[in-house]
Structure 1
C-alpha cells in the first residue's frame, strides 16, 4: 500500500507538471558572481568567465530560453578584514552575499528563473536569501560532495564556503555567533526544507548537525544502494509531498567524480557519474518548480590542463541546460507514456514499475 501511494504521488506530480515542463521561452537571468574569499584557493572567481566561454548563453538560447545576462557583479574586497572567531574574511563574504542577495531578489522578482554562476559556495547564502524574499516557502536541493553546514564553532578550517547552509537554517540560529558583515542575514529554511544529494566528505561536527536536526541526505553510498531514480523519488516525496513549492538547486561541481570535473578546489573521489548528475537535474526540471539555481566551485586555475578546464566548464553548462529543460531522449514526460488517472495497480505490477 505504501509503495502504491508513493508511485501514484510521483505520477501525479509528473502529470501536473507536464505543461510546465514543455513551456517554451522561459526567461532566464544569469548572474555572475566572481568571488573567492569564502575559501583560500584563488582562481574560483574566474568560474563565471569560463562557464560563459563554454557556450552557456548560446546553449540556453538554442533551447528557446530568453536569456538576460546581468553580467558579473562587482564585489568589494576589504583591505582590513581580520579573522573573527576563527572565521576568515567575514566582512568581505558578508558584504558580497548582500550584493548578490539584492541582485537575485531583483532577478526572481522580475519573473526570471535565476542562474547564479560562482565563485565559491559561500555565495549560496546570498543566492538563497535573495530567492526567499519572493519565495519564502522555497525548498533547497543541495548537490555536493560536502554538507557545508559547519558553524563557526565546528568548522575545522574557518572557511565560509563550508558553512553556507548553517547561516540559512533556522534550527541553528542559536549556534551562530554574531559575525561582522552578517547582520542582514535572516535564516529562511527549516531542516525539513533541505535535501542533500551526493555527500561523501562530511566533517564530524556536520554529521552531528545532520543527525540532530533530522536533515534528509543521500550519500554516494545511498545512491549506490537505492539508485538515482529512487533517490529522486524520495527527495520529492520529502520536499513536495505536502504541497508544490519553488525549488532552489545549489549544485557544486565537485559533486561529480574528479575524473569528470578536475578543475575544482576540493575534489573527492567516488562522486556522481555524468548520467547520475544529469538525471538529478532532468528530474528537477520535470517538476516544473525550479525557480533559482547555483552552479559553483569551477576553478580554472586548478585544472591540470586547458582540456581539463574546458571539460569541467562544459559539464557545468550541461548541468545548467538540463536543469532548464534540455533533455536526453526519454527524459521528458509524455501523456502517452503515463497511465490514466484511474489506473489501479496490483502488488506484482507495482514492483515491476518501481524496481
Structure 2
C-alpha cells in the first residue's frame, strides 16, 4: 500500500492582492476551525507547518502600475523560497492563502525545481490579465499571465531560476467570468478551458480526467491552484469576487478527490476564502472539508 506524502503546510496570511480585505484572515481562521487536527486524524503526514510573511525580503526594483505590487512581490518572493526548499526536500507543498496573487510565488518556486510544470487552475476567473489589460489593477488577476511570460512581471523576478509555464499544460476548470483580453489569449494560445457548461455536459469526473491528461502531458508534475470562488456563491458566499453559476460543493469534492488520487499531482494551493464576507462560517467550513478531501487522498 502506498504511503501518504510528507506535506508541508505553508500558511500565507496575505490579502493585498485582492480588491476586498479579509482573505488574509483565512489561514488562521481555517486552522482555528480544526483543519490541522482533522488532517492528522485522517492520516495525513503533516511534515512541517510554517507561516510565510514578507519580513526581511528585498523588494525587486521592478515598478508595476498595479495596486500593492511591492507587497505582493515581497510576499511572493518569500513564498517562492519556501516552496523551492520544500520540493527540494521531497515534500508536498500545500499553500494556504490568502488571495490568488500568492500563486505567483508558488509557481516561481515550483518552476525553479520542475522545468516542465503543468497547472490545473480551478477558478471562476482565468487570472490572465497583464498589467496593461487589468480592469481592476488588483494583482490577484494576473498570475497566469505572469506564469506564461506574457506580463512585465515574471516569475524569475520572484525567484532566481524560475521558468515559465507552457500554455499547452495549463487547464482552466470552472471559469465563467473572463475579461475580453483573457478570452483572446485563451483562444490564441490554445489553452484548455472547461466552463460550467462543459462540466455539466461531460461530468466533472470526465473533465478532471481530461485536465490531468492535458496538464500532465510531458511535464514533471501538476500543480493544483484552487480558488473557492469556483464554487457557486450559494454554497460559498465568503469570497471577494463571487460569480453565479459555479461548481456545486459536490462537484468540488469529486474534483479534489480525483486530483488527490492522481499520481501526477505534486503541489497544491487553496485561496480566496474571506471570513469577513462569509455567512456563519459556511464558506470556511466548506473549505476545510474540501482541503481534507484533497490531502487525505494524496498518495506517493
TM-score by length of 1: 0.77
In structure 1, list runs of 5 or more residues that go unmatched: 1-21, 333-355
**8 Å CA contact retained: 1:113, 1:290:** no
Change (3 A) 1:84 1:232: same
Question: Which of residues 217, 220, 226 is equivalent to 2:202?
Answer: 226
Q: Hey, what's the Cα distance between the residues in 1 that align with 2:218 and 2:178?
A: 30
Q: Offset at 1:133? A: 2.2
Q: Which has the larger radius of gyration?
A: 1
Change (3 A) 1:39 1:75: same
Q: What's the CA shift string for 1:179-211, capped at 9, x where partnerless? A: 9x9465744201011001000111111111111
Residue 265 in structure 1 maps to residue 236 in structure 2: no
- SS of residue in 1 equivalent to 2:3: coil
In structure 2, relative to structure 1, the CA distance for the partners of 1:85 and 1:115 (3 Å cut) is: closer
Q: In the TM superposition, what whole-angstrom CA distance separates every residue of 1:120-145 from its partner, at most 9, and x where no partner exists?
A: 00000001111222222221000000
Are positions 1:66 and 2:37 aligned together? no
RMSD: 2.6
Change (3 A) 1:195 1:259: same
SS across alignment from 1:301: helix
Instruction: Name the counterpart of 1:205.
Output: 181
- From 210, 229, 251, the counterpart of 1:276: 251
Q: Report what 1:92 is aligned to.
A: 71
**Conserved? CA contact 1:91–1:182, under 8 Å:** no
User: What is the CA distance between 1:297 and its match in structure 2?
Assistant: 0.5
1:118 to 69, 91, 97: 97
Q: Distance in 1 between matches of 2:221 and 2:211?
A: 14
- Alignment check: 8 A CA contact 1:24 1:64 kept: no
Could you say which residue in structure 1 is the equivalent of 2:132? 153
Q: Quick check: 2:80–2:158 contact (8 Å CA) kept in 1? A: no
CA distance in 2, matches of 1:178, 1:130: 15
Shift of 1:267: 0.6
Residues matched between the structures, number: 295
Residues 1-355 of structure 1 aligned to structure 2 (within 5 Å): 23-76=2-55, 86-170=65-149, 172=150, 176-177=151-152, 182=157, 184=159, 186-240=162-216, 242-243=217-218, 245-303=220-278, 305=279, 307=280, 310-326=281-297
Partner of 1:15: none
CA distance in 2, matches of 1:57, 1:150: 34
State the shift of 1:248 in Å: 0.5
Q: Secondary structure at the match of 1:199?
A: coil
Range with greater deviation from structure 2 (129-138 or 254-263): 129-138
Distance in 2 separating the partners of 1:121 and 1:320: 16
> Is the Cα contact below 8 Å between 2:212 and 2:264 reproduced in 1?
no
CA distance in 2 between partners of 1:278 and 1:139 (Å) = 21
TM-score normalised per structure 2: 0.90
Q: 3-state SS of the aligned residue for 2:276?
A: coil
